[in-house]
Amino acid sequence: MPSHSDFILNAFIIFLPLIFYRPFYKNKHPLFMYVLFLIPMIITMTFPVRIFDSVLDLRAIPLVIGSLYGGVYTMLLLFASLLGYRQILGAIDLFHYSLSLLPTIILLKFLFVMFETASAKKRMLLVSGVCFFLRVTVVNLYALLEGKTSFFMDSFLPSLPLIVVQCIMAVMLVFMIEMIRTQNRMQEDIIQAEKMKVVSEIAASVAHEVRNPLTSVRGFIQLMSDPVLSERKRKEFSAITLEELDRAEAIISDYLSLAKPQSEKLEPILLGESLTKASQILSSYAHLQNVEIITDVKLPATVYGSKSKFRQAIINIGKNAIEAMPSGGILTLAYTVNEPNRTVTITISDTGIGMNEDQLKRLGAPYYTTKDKGTGLGTMVIFSVIRGMHGKLDVRSKVGAGTTYFITLPLN
């Protein structure tokens, strides 16, 4: 009974590399592969399995598999360790043992290129064949070198079933390793496909969004070339053309802000000054929409970041708020300082149409927008800027009752 327990224990030890191979399978460094397969080789040599009046030594499995998966340097390190540890265990002629291992080393050297390009099934066949070859050559060559001419008939043939069991275990280990490699490759392919999907979506979105204003520009330029066109119409078409070009530029700027963040000059930002400046920029647009802007700036507060990007984020929020009030309303910009926590919370609220729970959850997702004309990139830029300033953005809204943005930033 103890022999069967030893066999189960050795089997678990042989499959030990699987635990570490999955998370580190990309690491093909010879030293990593050497250590990974050295441990089970040493343990199986220390505790061989005695079963059916024979000794089943599973050292060949980690030795062969580690060599084929690790490469030439891993093979040399494993065989050197095998010889060194076998000398420590004693009761062996190291020179004769080295000579008996030489055919397997030569065979492995010729199999590396084939193994690298082989399919999973072919790898299993190669490993089982090499394991069988190693066992056959080592025990019989060593016996011949030691002068034991009757060893083949007396000891080797009766142990053949155990050698077959060893080869089967080697095939099982290779099968599991290949399964891990296949799963990891599939995972990488999925990630790559997702990246390509994002790239294609961005390309399609850029083409679609930029084509619209450019189509309008082309049409108005053609109309303006008409000699009978009145001066009033010509000015009107010219204004629309410039407006559409500005829209195309804004779309491209939003994509560039997300795709390739520029290294900005980081500096102290006076919140009161920034909010006041943002409200001035928004005032003309708010006036057209019949929206009143209230700026509540009392205590001085300073944060750290890019002035231009921060102002862009505030203007984007303000513009979204104004557009959410088609019938007019009030836009409020304010902030409160929390001295104990060394933070400041900026509040931007409107009295517009508001958003439901589903819209709030999707806010900031790529290409999601609640507007008929828009890319959703403006909101993504807002989230990106606030994160870059080590801040937090919280949005609360209720349908018909307006929306409030809470931006919490660390004080400078």
pLDDT of residue 105: 93
Q: What is the pTM of this model?
A: 0.54
pLDDT of residue 2: 46
Per-residue pLDDT tens digits for 244-282: 787 677 767 766 665 555 555 678 999 988 898 888 878
Per-residue pLDDT tens digits for 72-97: 999 999 999 999 998 998 888 889 98
pLDDT of residue 84: 92
Per-residue pLDDT tens digits for 151-161: 555 566 667 77
Output the six-digit token pair for 260. Answer: 């390739």
Cα of first residue to Cα of last residue in the chain, in angstroms, is 72
Average pLDDT over the chain, rounded to an integer: 81
Neighbouring CB atoms inside 10 A of 128's CB total: 19
pLDDT of residue 107: 93
By CB atoms closer than 10 A (0-12, 13-18, 19+), residue 40 is buried
Q: Output the CA angle 242-314-396, nearest 5 degrees.
A: 120
Q: Which residues, in sequence order, are CB contacts of 315 under 8 Å at separation 6+?
A: 278, 281, 282
pLDDT of residue 63: 92
CA neighbor of 310 nearest in space, from 406, 408, 394, 388: 388
> Does 370 score more than 70 pLDDT?
no
pLDDT of residue 27: 61
> Does 374 score more than 70 pLDDT?
no
Residue-wise DSSP of 10-65: HHHHHTTHHHHHTTTTT---HHHHHHHHHHHHHHHHHS-EEETTEEE-TTHHHHHH
- Is the Cβ–Cβ distance between 78 and 130 less than 8 Å? no
> Does 220 score more than 80 pLDDT?
no
pLDDT winner (highest mean) among 122-126, 315-319, 369-373: 122-126
> Does 104 score more than 90 pLDDT?
yes
CA distances (Å), 212 to each of 182, 257, 287, 319, in order? 44, 21, 27, 21
- Collapsing DSSP to helix, strand or coil, 93 comes out as coil
pLDDT of residue 332: 92
Q: Which tops the pLDDT comparison, 378 or 379?
A: 379
* 329 DSSP β-pair partners: 291
Per-residue pLDDT tens digits for 41-59: 998 888 877 765 566 678 8
- Is the Cβ–Cβ distance between 321 and 348 less than 8 Å? yes
Q: Which tops the pLDDT comparison, 174 or 240?
A: 174
pLDDT of residue 21: 73
- Range in 88-97, 140-149, 292-301, 343-352 with the lowest mean pLDDT: 140-149
> Does 409 score more than 60 pLDDT?
yes
pLDDT of residue 1: 41
Rounded-to-integer distance, Cα 214 and Cα 310, Å: 29
Q: What would the mean pLDDT of 24-38 be, rounded to a whole number? A: 79
Output the six-digit token pair for 364. Answer: 């900031």
Q: Which DSSP category does 153 fall into?
A: I
Residue-wise DSSP of 333-391: EEEEEETTTTEEEEEEEE-S----HHHHHHTTSTT--SSSS--SHHHHHHHHHHHHTT-
pLDDT of residue 255: 67
- Is the Cβ–Cβ distance between 388 and 279 less than 8 Å? no
